[in-house]
Chain A
Amino acid sequence: MNRFVVIAALAGLAFGATARAQEADTLTPPSQSWRFAGPLGTVDQAAAQRGFQVYADACSNCHGLKYLHYRDLSGIGFTAAQIKEIAARFMVPAGFDNQGNVVTRPATAASPFRPPFPNDEAARAMLNGALPPDLSLIVSSFPNGPNYIYALLTGYQDPPADVKLADGMNYNPYFPGHQIAMPPPLNEGDITYTDGTASTVAQNAHDVVTFLAWAAHPDMVQRKRIGFGVVLYFLGMAGVTFALKRRIWHGVH
């Protein structure tokens, strides 16, 4: 059997050590500590609610969250009344009047998050040709997603002397190619938290990543909770069937 161990080790070495080839000079994002990480990880609701505020204040002008509905915010602890109030801030299309014109009304809990632009072309026209990605799944779209987004948000720098930035671009060593169209979205003192937490860029970034990680996997808490039960069930059943197997096979050589 030791050969299988060797093969398995070889496989582990071959696949495990293959960190995806990164662009040589793109910085590796440092690891942060996240409450949602690990098998016991959960959603830090206070941080996620602050993160929603960061998203609403600093991101939502350009980035949508099109797979989320306002009702989903109950997953990070907003009450039905709060959700109703949040949704009502946004006017959304609601069919047509008898002249055929689009009628708008305040969004309800059932409405999807209002997109920042009517379509991609409008976004490009407004933003110098750049198309800001939707953020619903952004944390899952990159290897090491949470740390990457955090590093990107906090990693803006002045360009080194030998780098000439293209028009309208910004320097960020964590971004492949280092030139990113998005200007630094978080600035010291831009956001005043309603819960009184001191607002720093690092705090803003940490909170918004917590929010976006929840937004990408709203099933996470329930998934892990059910998971413990299911794994324990199978281990228990493995014990029972093993005992039964031992007894049935007793006397067979």
Chain B
Amino acid sequence: MTGMQTAPIGPSDAVPRRDILTLVALTGAAIGVAGYAWPLIDFMNPSKDVLALASVEVPLEAISPGMGITVVWRGKPIFVRHRTDAEIQQARNTPLDQLSDPQDDRARVQPGHEQWIVVVGICTHLGCIPLGNKPSEMRGNLGGWFCPCHGSQFDTSGRIRVPPAPSNLPIPPYTFESDTKIRIG
């Protein structure tokens, strides 16, 4: 054990060469850091109990024509309205060039269930809840919904007709489980 290293080891020959072994180690370390970080990030995504309530079923039997109900879906009010034939006709007969956000009524309802309009009940202007889902409330001149904050008016298809709101009330994803039940989300 007398053959000891006498020259001081300088940093230059000590720094490892960028060879395959170093590359594997650095790659592995990067994978490790990412693998550790992912559970901590995913932890903050919606948990199972939140996701389990991400869809709601709404029975429709009790809603007579002209009536609407408000259900809560993912913390947001959803307007489900049973339109009368007159309201359907009114929505269909509106020329698209009168609309600031042109969209055909047929694109906003599901075929065979044209009497049902389902929209997210949040004004596209600044997030107030429009009135008009109950017959007793103000519905504006177009018979749809009226936002009390800044006077926006929506028609019976939930389309914006009187500004300041810039766009139509959005349609949430929903399907008909049967003729009398929808599933939102």
A-side residues, CB < 8 A to B, are 69, 71, 108-110, 230, 233, 236-237, 240-241, 243-244, 247-248, 251-253
Contacts and interface: CB of A to CB of B under 8 A. Distances in A.
A248 B24 contact: no
B28 interface: yes
Give the secondary structure class of A's interface: helix
A109 B28 contact: no
B23 to A, nearest CB: 10
B32 interface: yes
Given A69-B52, A248-B14, A240 B5 contact: no
Contact of A237 (B3, B16, B28, B52): B28
Contacts of A244: 16, 21-22, 25
Contact of A248 (B16, B31, B48, B53): B16
Contact of B21 (A69, A108, A247): A247
Interface string B7-33: 001000010100001101100110110
Interface residues of B, number: 21
Given A251-B5, A252-B9, A240 B16 contact: no
Contacts of B22: 244
A69 B51 CA distance: 13
A233 to B, nearest CB: 7
Contacts of A251: 5
Interface of B: 1, 3-5, 9, 14, 16, 21-22, 24-25, 28-29, 31-32, 35, 48-49, 52-53, 57
B24 A69 contact: no
Nearest to B22: A244
Given A110-B53, A237-B28, A243 B21 contact: yes
20 contacts: A71-B48, A71-B52, A108-B57, A109-B52, A110-B52, A230-B35, A233-B28, A233-B32, A233-B35, A236-B28, A237-B28, A240-B25, A240-B28, A244-B21, A247-B16, A248-B14, A252-B5, A252-B9, A253-B3, A253-B4
A250 B118 CA distance: 73
Contacts of B31: 233
| A-B pairs, 3 with minimum CB distance | A110-B52, A240-B25, A237-B28
A253 B7 CA distance: 12
A35 B91 CA distance: 63
A245 to B, nearest CB: 10
A236 B49 CA distance: 37
A237 B32 contact: yes
Contacts of B49: 69, 110
Contacts of A252: 5, 9
Nearest to B16: A248
Contact of B24 (A109, A240, A247): A240
Of A69, A110, A253, most B-chain CB atoms within 10 Å: A110
Of B14, B31, B49, B52, most A-chain CB atoms within 10 Å: B52
Nearest to B50: A110
A64 to B, nearest CB: 17
Nearest to A243: B21
A253 B1 contact: yes
Of B1, B3, B24, B57, most A-chain CB atoms within 10 Å: B24
A233 B3 CA distance: 38
Given A69-B52, A71-B52, A248-B16, A241 B25 contact: yes
A108 B5 CA distance: 75
Contacts of A236: 28
Nearest to A71: B52
Nearest to B36: A230
Contacts of B1: 253
Nearest to A230: B35
